[in-house]
Amino acid sequence: MFKDILVPLDGSSRSEQALTLAAHIARADHSTIHLMRSVELMSIYSMQTIGMMERVQQLEEQGAKNYLDRIKNSALLEHISTMTSVYVGDASSAILEAVARRNIDLVVLCSHGYTGLKHWVLGSVAQKIARACPVPVLIQRTEHPLPFAMDAEGQPTFRVCITLDGSEQAEAVIEPAIAIASACASGHRAEVHLLRVIEPINLSDEEAFEEIYHLNLQDLVRQQAQEYLQGVVKRLELAARACENIKIIGHLKSGADIAQEIIQYAENGGASQYPTCQLLAMTTHGRNKIDRWIFGSIAERVLNRTKLPLLIMRPPQSAAPTKAQPV
């Protein structure tokens, strides 16, 4: 599924932790990895003279090229088609420009890198890219690198939790999430946990609905959500019939804090028979642009709070990248 994978680097060992996962996926999908690094204009323009600025820019660009060449020729990327590029400009714009220029299918980056002004603050870069990137973004946590040592229940199992809200927009992340889970499972079993969280109904609304229709509104919402999940599970099971190593499981939860319910399930397991997941996946928004499932609300809180690697993507729509200057 992923023909071209972009791995943005900032020169730090932390940012390089994304390489292991990217290489794992690339080997499974026979992908090309595109390594990139941006040269920040801020560090160049802080110099006092034009001549010195130009010289510093040349040194920055050459240093970035040498760094990427070293990574390209490392044992980790051996036998993987790899390309490199250096961009002049801020990191977020450079990444979005690289996505457009290289026809990227997946961006893999680490959530934290350098914190000095000269280098990327990857935490903020990851948030900006998740908001604007037109392709899936896999954000790896430095404290929880992938691939994990997989749990054993007779055989190793890789678990991914995919959050849904009943909309087609939220379902857009299913295909890339399953593709990544299959790659990380490396031929072993992959479990796909489809999670739907519903909010409690306002008591006054529930009482009014019951008085008019003689039905319990909360029970009706739960029933509809359960039927929706069962339908998605059946659809995915039919699509995965040829693959015996993928198990599809649906889960329904309720809670006022949807983001916290998602994190609690994915990190701790919704029940004792389902241990923690290794990957969490969701879209930036679901039902519509002004509904509850908005990046500024649920998705953003999940991104900021979860300890798990997060696959996040915008539902199919236009996303014009900001221009950066390639070297």
Q: What is the pLDDT of residue 104?
A: 98
What is the sign, positive or negative, of the torsion defined by CA atoms of 22, 76, 101, 67?
A: positive
pLDDT digits (tens, 9 = 90+) for 91-130: 899 999 999 999 999 999 988 655 443 344 456 788 889 8
Q: What is the pLDDT of residue 118?
A: 39
pLDDT digits (tens, 9 = 90+) for 204-228: 655 555 655 555 767 888 899 999 9
Q: What is the pLDDT of residue 205?
A: 57
Q: What is the pLDDT of residue 139?
A: 93
Cβ 278 vs Cβ 184: under 8 Å: yes
pLDDT reading at 323 higher than 70: no
pLDDT band at 319 (very low <50, low <70, confident <90, very high): very low
Cβ 8 vs Cβ 97: under 8 Å: no
Q: What are the E-state strand segments in the chain?
A: 4-8, 32-39, 82-88, 106-110, 137-140, 151-152, 156-164, 189-198, 246-254, 279-283, 310-313, 325-326
Q: What is the pLDDT of residue 234?
A: 94
Q: What is the pLDDT of residue 46?
A: 53
pLDDT band at 290 (very low <50, low <70, confident <90, very high): very low
Q: Is the pTM of this model over 0.75?
A: yes
Which range, of 12-26, 62-76, 92-106, 145-159, averages the lowest pLDDT? 145-159
Q: At what angle do helices 174-185 and 217-239 cross, to 10 degrees?
A: 50
CA dihedral 18, 131, 312, 137 (to 10 degrees): -30
pLDDT reading at 247 higher than 60: yes
58-74: average pLDDT: 95
> Which residues pair with residue 141 across a beta bridge?
144
Question: What value does the mean pLDDT of the chain take?
Answer: 82
State the burial class of residue 153 (Cβ atoms within 10 Å of its Cβ: 0-12, 13-18, 19+). exposed
31: left (phi over 0), alpha (psi -120 to 50) or beta: beta
pLDDT band at 200 (very low <50, low <70, confident <90, very high): confident
Q: What is the pLDDT of residue 176?
A: 96
pLDDT reading at 326 higher than 70: no
Q: What is the pLDDT of residue 298?
A: 87
47 vs 198, which has greater pLDDT? 198
pLDDT reading at 293 higher than 70: no
Cβ 86 vs Cβ 65: under 8 Å: yes
Cβ 54 vs Cβ 179: under 8 Å: no
Considering only CA atoms, give the Rg of the chain.
22
Q: What is the pLDDT of residue 189?
A: 85
For residues 115 and 26, give the distance between their C-alpha atoms in angstroms, rounded to a whole number.
29
pLDDT digits (tens, 9 = 90+) for 251-283: 999 998 999 999 999 998 754 456 688 999 999
- Structural domains of the chain, ranges and CATH numbers in brackets: 4-143+319-326 (3.40.50.620), 151-308 (3.40.50.620)
For residues 159 and 189, give the distance between their C-alpha atoms in angstroms, rounded to a whole number.
9
Structure tokens at 322: 């900001």
Establish whether the linkage from the previous residue to 147 is cis, with ω within 30° of 0.
yes
47-65: average pLDDT: 78
Which range, of 87-91, 219-223, 290-294, averages the lowest pLDDT? 290-294
198 vs 213, which has greater pLDDT? 198
